[in-house]
Amino acid sequence: MKEKQEKVKKEKKPKKVKKKREGMSLWNRFMFWFAKVITFLPRILIFPAKIIHKERLPKKSRYLAVTNHQSWVDIIYSVFTLPGRRYIIAKKELDKGFLHSIRKFMAIIFVDRENPSIGSVREVFGALNCGEAVTLYPEGTRNKENRELMEIKTGSAVFAVKSGAPVIPVMIYRRAKAFRKNYIYVGEPFDLAEYAGKKLSGEVLEEATEKIRRRMLAEMDNMDDYVQNKRWKKKNRLRFPRRRPPRIGKVRSRTRNYRNPPPEMTAQAVTPYENCYGGELRVLLRRAKRGQYGVARGGRIPEPKNLHAREIDP
């Protein structure tokens, strides 16, 4: 009996393992939004920026934002100006002083550009797998010379292919200066699903990186056209011409059984527009041939009212 009691004492109940909260903790989220509120007025006064197509940024789903890098203010645009919350990938040389103390609630991931550590790469994949958004600068450094894109690193393609997250180009119009308005253009999202499941060799990574580069260049051209022509104004929006059917007058007389319509109302004259109303015009022409609209007395084919009428011959 004593031996059994000793065994029961030795066998302890397994401790309940607390599940870790995915993504950012509540305290870090609170500090992030608190900093965003505090810096609102200085941000819109010193570095004002207009966001174009911000509805393309998902609110509650993951994505990988690729941004061109021209100045240190781009980090302020990515963290505070854009709506929502996202992780920022920065170079390891900045991991010191003030940035090191706020790296947790500001969601900054420091990565060594020459020899990236496994821990930092896992941190990026962990954020994407938890449904968080991540912003990175694929050029790797600031472009201080001009607005042209520099050589893009393959790290963005690796994160996009391995995680399966959509890629959204976020382009900044020009280098930021104090008290000068800037523009941030959000491009259309795309993915690299065609490379999923393949071995990430050098050729595959180059193809995926080149696709990201082409999309960033295309969105940069769209941004230039949008900003230079002020497309957000109603008078400057692009208008595409609509194909409208010919205008047909109203009926003057509904006398039936006249079989001699004028030549301008025959089927040959209106043949190119037979499919304008989804088949209804063909019904009207068929009735006109039978003399149901009194075209001999000056009547005309009536204008169709239902654009989606079925082709029914009464």
pLDDT of res. 185: 95
3-state secondary structure of 223: helix
Q: Are 46 and 179 in contact (CB under 8 A)?
A: yes
pLDDT of res. 204: 92
Global pTM value:
0.68
pLDDT of res. 239: 66
pLDDT of res. 3: 56
Give the span between the Cα atoms of 50 and 168, in whole angstroms. Answer: 18
pLDDT of res. 256: 43
Residue pLDDT, tens place only, 80-99: 899 988 899 988 888 888 88
The alpha helices in 61-117, defined as continuous H runs, are: 73-76, 97-101
pLDDT of res. 255: 44
pLDDT of res. 60: 84
- In 10 A of CB 209, how many CB atoms? 21
Q: Quick one: residue 261, left, alpha or beta (phi over 0 = left, psi -120 to 50 = alpha)?
A: beta
pLDDT of res. 248: 52
pLDDT of res. 282: 60
pLDDT of res. 134: 94
Kindly list the structural domains of the chain, giving each domain's residue range(s) and its CATH number in brackets, ordered by start: 26-231 (3.40.1130.10), 243-314 (no CATH)
Q: What are the average pLDDT values for consecutive 10-residue runs of the chain, which has 314 residues?
A: 52 46 72 89 92 91 93 90 90 83 84 84 90 91 84 90 93 92 94 89 91 93 90 76 53 46 48 46 61 49 48 44
Residue pLDDT, tens place only, 256-269: 444 555 555 444 44
pLDDT of res. 231: 85
Give the span between the Cα atoms of 125 and 158, in whole angstroms. Answer: 10
Instruction: Find how far residue 129's CA is from the centre of its chain.
Output: 20
Give the span between the Cα atoms of 229 and 142, in whole angstroms. Answer: 27
Give the span between the Cα atoms of 135 and 66, in whole angstroms. Answer: 6
Give the span between the Cα atoms of 171 and 182, in whole angstroms. Answer: 11
3-state secondary structure of 108: strand
